Structures are given as C-alpha cells and as structure tokens.
Chain A
C-alpha cells in the first residue's frame, strides 16, 4: 500500500488490531443472538491497513464510507458504545454521525459525488480540511469514480480516495465481471485484503 507523499501524519491511532477484531466479535455475538433486526456487515482482514491510513485522517476531516463501515467509524473517533448501540438497533449499514463528519451510503458508488461536493465546498471556504472517500473495488470501476476522481484532480480538490480491494462485490468477483481491473492512479490509496466475514452476517445460522 502506497500513501501519497503529499499526505502527512496528523495523529496517533488509539486502536490496535486486536481491539478492532474484538469489537467485531462483540458485534458478531449481538448479531447471532437474533436481537439485531437489520443486516450487519462485519469487517475483518484490513485492520492494519486502516490503522496506518487513519494516522493521516484528521479528526475534523470528512469520512465517506459504505455499508461496511465499522472500522472507519471507530478509527475516525466515533465512540464504540455509540456504534455498538447503532448496530444493536439494526443500523449497521446506515451509520451516520454529523459530529464526526461521517457519512455512508449503502448504494455502490453513492458517497463519491457527495464527497466531491464537500471537497468543493471546503476549497471554496479556504479550509485546510480534507475529505476521505473509502470505496470498494467494484465502486472503483464505476463511472462515478472516474468522473469524480477526474474532476477532483483537475480542480485540485482536497478529496482522497481509498480503494479497499477484496475483489468482491457482494459475492461477485470484480475482475471476472470486467475482464480485468483498471490501473490504480498515483493519487489513490489502494490496498488488497481478504474479507474475514461474509458479505453480511457472520456465516452462522441465526434465528430471528
């Protein structure tokens, strides 16, 4: 994983890999209890990459995420108690937190244009803050990514893309559907990982 040289570390991350894994195990236990009446998308396998990336994410920056957002939320400073409560309420795939400038979308590519708009607003205001947009490998191949990456680059907007590549969109292999994958631009952070949990749920049968 290459971090572009124009990015500087702005903080120490106070989460360890083990703590992140444990948080998801706790969420898994809640899910398997049958009391969570909504889909849950658990994270596993990308803890180290995200801990490194979030050293560059200022607490005042905006973070745009996806349905699989728990690690992003925790590493951006959102309280684990608050997040676990959201998961228990069945809100795993709609974690939104205005206080922390944290936005998600459960539509592939959905957050990308919104992230672009925030970046444009920040630039017009002369703000030093940055927008971080985390996308999966299928979203990386979409027109939304191409359009917004091009626009942000051409107008020098403070928008940083991170591609989290597990080569799966739900359970569809991205490279199979496209025949291949596009090259990663120099200004895009890209890492590969193996998904530690299924697309949603824990892999175990749950009775509701």
Chain B
C-alpha cells in the first residue's frame, strides 16, 4: 500500500514537472527586464518596493538595470506601499510598485481594494491614478517555497477588484506589450481605472 502511494506521488510529481517544463519559456525573465528598462526611460516612472534595489528575491533581478535614482527601496509595510504608490500617482508619477510574492500583496488589500480600485468611482473620475502593480506567484520548482510563498490569489482578486485591470503573464511574448499597455492606455471614460495588476510566474523565472 505504501509503495503504491509512493509510486503515485512520484508519478504525480513527474507529471507536474513535465507540465511545468512545457510552459517554461527561456525568454520570460529577459522580457520583464526589457519592460522595466523601457519603463525606466520614462520621466514620470518610479519603482517602489522591497528588494528593488537590494537583492533578496527573483524580482530584484529584473530591476538591476534600472537607474538607481528611479528605485525606492521600501520597508516591509505592504499596505502603506500601495497607498504611497497611489499618492505618488496623484502627483503625476507612474509608480511601478513591486510585491515579490502574491502572499505579500494580500497585505496591501485595503489600499488596493478599498481605495485604488474605487478612487475613480468615489471621486467621479476626478482622480485617475496610473499605477502598475507587479507581483509573482512563487516558484515550486526546483525548490518548493511552501504554502506561505507560493499562493495564487488571481481569482480572489478578480472577485475583489471592480476596476483594476488584471493581467496574468503566462507567455513571454505577452510581457512587453502588457507593460507597455499598462503605461500607455488611455481611459475610455472617467470611471475607467488606469491601474494594472500584472501577475508573473516565479517558476518561469527559474528557467533562465
């Protein structure tokens, strides 16, 4: 019985790894880096978060080539970071606000759901802050980061957010156009949010 369960577990793991490998794309991280470099050339952009300037997670590798004066390393205060990003956008900045893992982004849910997602409605379109939010679903291969570092809350956020555009970056070819669109898109109405949540796959990073 034990042998049978062990075999089933091994087969499942092999299947998962095979499926994962099918989706791995060697261009993935480079496309994110290209996107960050393109955004960094814009006068109004600024990059905020933990490990945007100092190493500590995979996302750091995508901001290494961003000029230092564009990077603001923040303490761990996720909800403040989201509100701060919103405030900077009020004054004309386009923050690229980075949350290395989805598990951490949920700590910013108050500012994201109650404020940033609703500001266009509450203010009747007077305020239309443009904020680009980056997060990543933590990798499981080759090291499984565990339950508190690998959660995918995409569907929960699709339910919670009425206006924020949510984009899951599955394919490498989608990455640059998605970031470009997040920066350039114009509102269709005064109630249209200019906030984009881009969700990356940590496991795709690991292929590089």
Contact = CB atoms under 8 A, between A and B. Distances in A.
A is bound by B: yes
A62 to B, nearest CB: 8
A96 B126 CA distance: 8
Interface string B88-120: 111111000000000000000011001100000
The listed residue with most A CB atoms (<10 A of its CB), out of B72, B87, B88, is: B87
A91 to B, nearest CB: 9
A117 interface: yes
Contacts of B85: 117
Interface in A104-126: 105, 107, 110, 112-122, 124-125
Contact of A113 (B82, B89, B92, B124): B82
Contact of A151 (B80, B115, B127): B80
Contact of A117 (B77, B87, B110, B122): B87
Size class of the B contact interface (CB-based, 8 Å): 20 to 34
A147 B127 contact: no
Interface in B107-160: 110-111, 114-115, 122-124, 126-127
Given A96-B126, A96-B127, A107-B114, A115 B87 contact: yes
Contact of A105 (B84, B115, B126): B115
Contacts of A147: 75, 77, 80
Nearest to B126: A98
Given A121-B92, A147-B77, A147-B80, A114 B115 contact: yes
A124 B122 CA distance: 28
A87 interface: no
Contacts of B90: 62, 103, 114, 117-118, 121
Is chain A's interface secondary structure helix, strand, loop, or mixed overall?
A: helix
B79 interface: yes
A97 interface: yes
A96 B115 CA distance: 13
B127 A113 contact: no
B126 A113 contact: no
A105 B87 CA distance: 13
The listed residue with most B CB atoms (<10 A of its CB), out of A94, A97, A120, is: A120
A148 interface: yes
A144 interface: yes
Contact of B80 (A62, A96, A98, A113): A113
Contacts of A144: 79-80, 83
B84 A110 contact: no
Contacts of B72: 120
A126 to B, nearest CB: 12
Interface of B: 46, 72, 75, 77, 79-93, 110-111, 114-115, 122-124, 126-127
Given A110-B115, A121-B93, 19 more contacts: A96-B127, A103-B123, A107-B114, A110-B110, A113-B82, A113-B83, A113-B86, A114-B86, A114-B90, A115-B87, A117-B85, A117-B86, A117-B87, A117-B89, A117-B90, A118-B87, A120-B72, A124-B93, A125-B91
Interface of A: 62, 94, 96-98, 103, 105, 107, 110, 112-122, 124-125, 144, 147-148, 151
